[in-house]
Amino acid sequence: AQSVAQPEDQVNVAEGNPLTVKCTYSVSGNPYLFWYVQYPNRGLQFLLKYITGDNLVKGSYGFEAEFNKSQTSFHLKKPSALVSDSALYFCAVRDQTGANNLFFGTGTRLTVIP
Amino acid sequence: NAGVMQNPRHLVRRRGQEARLRCSPMKGHSHVYWYRQLPEEGLKFMVYLQKENIIDESGMPKERFSAEFPKEGPSILRIQQVVRGDSAAYFCASSPASGVYNEQFFGPGTRLTVL
């Protein structure tokens, strides 16, 4: 069965500092990993995905994520945080069974402090 | 190209009433997914539909909940005889095709409040 863990409910970072939002996963076979961002009272916006290939994936708004198979992790990163990055971030996974639905983590609330 | 549209954005119902949530996928998308988000939780999959077919309803509660995606018109998530525990945000997502590689595009959600 698939599962996703986001160990931190809340991450605070100063504007201009690098940020990391953590995600670990458990699937059968190869994982397909996604990051989404949710702003208040809005739907989820797709940021990036890992399917295969280069372990470092670049996405929207300057975000990137690193796939680490040995640690079963897919942490979201950004070199320099902006106040406008403050939002709720969700990691999601699919596996190779062909299930079309995404399994989501519980979310991490990122606050960037001016 | 308009994104995924959901209406209403906010819906208030009294216990025992019916709730109908509508979702229009992005243009060119024929696959629709419904998710439920309870307060302070992540999204939980409910059902996956293609036009006129329910493909996977493994996340749907066994009673009171149903979904359809007719040949014409939006997808509908229907909740009969609502209870307070049904209060949540319901999100619809769409994709152009099936397959594990495709990301899903989400609508703004319908926030259901049951009094």
Are the beta carbons of B65 and B15 closer than 8 angstroms? Answer: no
Report the pLDDT averaged over residues A47-63.
Answer: 92
Q: What is the pLDDT of residue B48?
A: 93
B41 pLDDT tier (thresholds 50, 70, 90): confident
B1 pLDDT above the threshold of 70? no
* Cα A76 to Cα A89: distance, rounded to the nearest angstrom: 9
The 10s digit of each residue's pLDDT in B64-108 is 999 999 999 999 999 999 999 999 999 999 988 766 677 889 999
CB atoms within 10 A of CB A59: 18
Measuring CA to CA, how many Å separate A45 from each of A50, A59, B69? Answer: 16, 12, 23
Residues of A in contact with B107 (CB under 8 A): 43
Interface probe, candidates B21, B46, B100, B105, chain A, greatest A C-beta count within 10 A? B100
Contacts of A56 (CB under 8 A, 6+ apart): A64, A65, A66, A67
B39 pLDDT tier (thresholds 50, 70, 90): confident
Q: What is the pLDDT of residue B49?
A: 93
Contacts of B62 (CB under 8 A, 6+ apart): none
Among the listed residues B52, B104, B4, B78, the one whose alpha carbon sits nearest the alpha carbon of residue A99: B104
A28 pLDDT tier (thresholds 50, 70, 90): confident
Percent of chain A with pLDDT over 70: 96
The 10s digit of each residue's pLDDT in A69-84 is 999 999 999 999 999 9
Closest partner residue to B100 (CB to CB) among A43, A90, A94 is A94
CB contact A88 to B (< 8 Å)? no
Q: What is the pLDDT of residue A97?
A: 65
B113 pLDDT tier (thresholds 50, 70, 90): very high
